[in-house]
Amino acid sequence: MAENKIESNSIDNTPEESPDEESNPIFAHSLSRSEEAKERAKVGAKQDDLDKNKKCKIDPNIVEKGLKSLDNPVLRGSFSLVLDKPTLEFLENIAKMAFKEVIEQELFDVTLTSDYLDTIHLSTDRAKVQNKRSGVYIIKHVETGMCIVGQTTNLKKRFNQYTSRSTNPIFSLTNKINKELYVAVQENLQKNLVFGQFMQRYVAYCWVDKNKKPINVFSLELINQKNYLEHQLILALHECGLCYNTNDVAPQLVESPVLPDPSLIGPAPLGKVSSTSFPLPVVGPKRGKPFKVNNLYFLTGQDYAKYRESLSVSNRKHFLSMPRLRLKLCTNSNDSNNSTRYLSDAEVQEAKNKNLFVKPTCAP
């Protein structure tokens, strides 16, 4: 009954940037967080499971600790005043299943040849869609097990935001990205890895109607449903020491259509940020450079994405998605004879002189 109730009223009335994602503290020793995460998680591996990627699993005792933390009814707090018992129990079951499914997946070392990780829709997500859909998500660092939890009105857009903001070589105080996550991503970018190789995206639950269509109804109850599920997942991961959301353990209860008082959200002390808290930005000749795909030349990834989008479905299959293309470009960066690669400065100038670069409105 609780599930039907959620389906019939599902909404998203939150701003595109979730307060929980903007209110994380900045740690003076962020550089060592990824290493500390492995120790806190007590990661152990059986000899039979070891392979070239050094796969391992998180200690089952750690998993059990996270699950038990969700059994305390006191954690419902004020949500019990705005959500009925069947709905609370339904969301709690979703949280337990999603947490267990994510945390039990093996950790592994990432190399330059590692595959790009596609978004995983957990068994708790019946919709299996992302674009313009409201939901709760988890992003996990596959080497350390550290996770970020959030909610959004558009899952696909939010995942893209994480990619672009965390890989931005110039950190800005106005960049709405979890600071610990940013540091972890920058560390791996310095190893010439791609975001999608070491950050696994999960959809825990998506609020849609019976036809899997997006719902945009202004209902405080449904906002609180999203907040409660997000809160439960953060609590479980925080208990295990595997959560980037270290300042988001207080529930965000919506009692009116007005946004919560910022003082209740607990924003990060941005004024105390030191540039030494973050690793050196990733810079180099390959970032943001023009490239070629077969016989087509592109100045930017945005031009490529627009061109690909203009193609018919059948022709589009011959062109990689932008994340996969970035991975291939990095792989071929030292192969000057490859048909899909970054262009040298001389090639860029020659292509400009010959007007070879594809314009965004070009037809196939």
Of 134-138, 258-262, 289-293, which range is least confident? 258-262
Residue 313 burial class via C-beta count within 10 angstroms: exposed 0-12, middle 13-18, buried 19 and up? exposed
Relative to beta strand 296-298, strand 199-207 is unpaired
Distance of alpha carbon 24 from alpha carbon 182, whole angstroms: 11
Residue 322 tokens, joined:
């932008």
The backbone torsions φ and ψ at residue 88, rounded to the nearest 5 degrees and listed phi first, read: -60, -45
pLDDT tens-digit series, residues 140-165: 999 999 999 999 988 999 999 999 88
149 backbone dihedrals φ, ψ, rounded to 5°? -120, 140
Instruction: Supply the pLDDT for residue 279.
Output: 45
d(CA 315, CA 146): 39
Query: How many residues are listed for the chain in this entry?
Result: 364
Question: What tens digit of pLDDT does each residue of 294-334 get?
Answer: 889 998 888 888 888 888 888 888 888 887 888 788 788 77
> Would you kindly state where each structural domain of the chain is located, as residue ranges?
60-240, 291-354
- Chain-wide mean pLDDT for the chain? 75
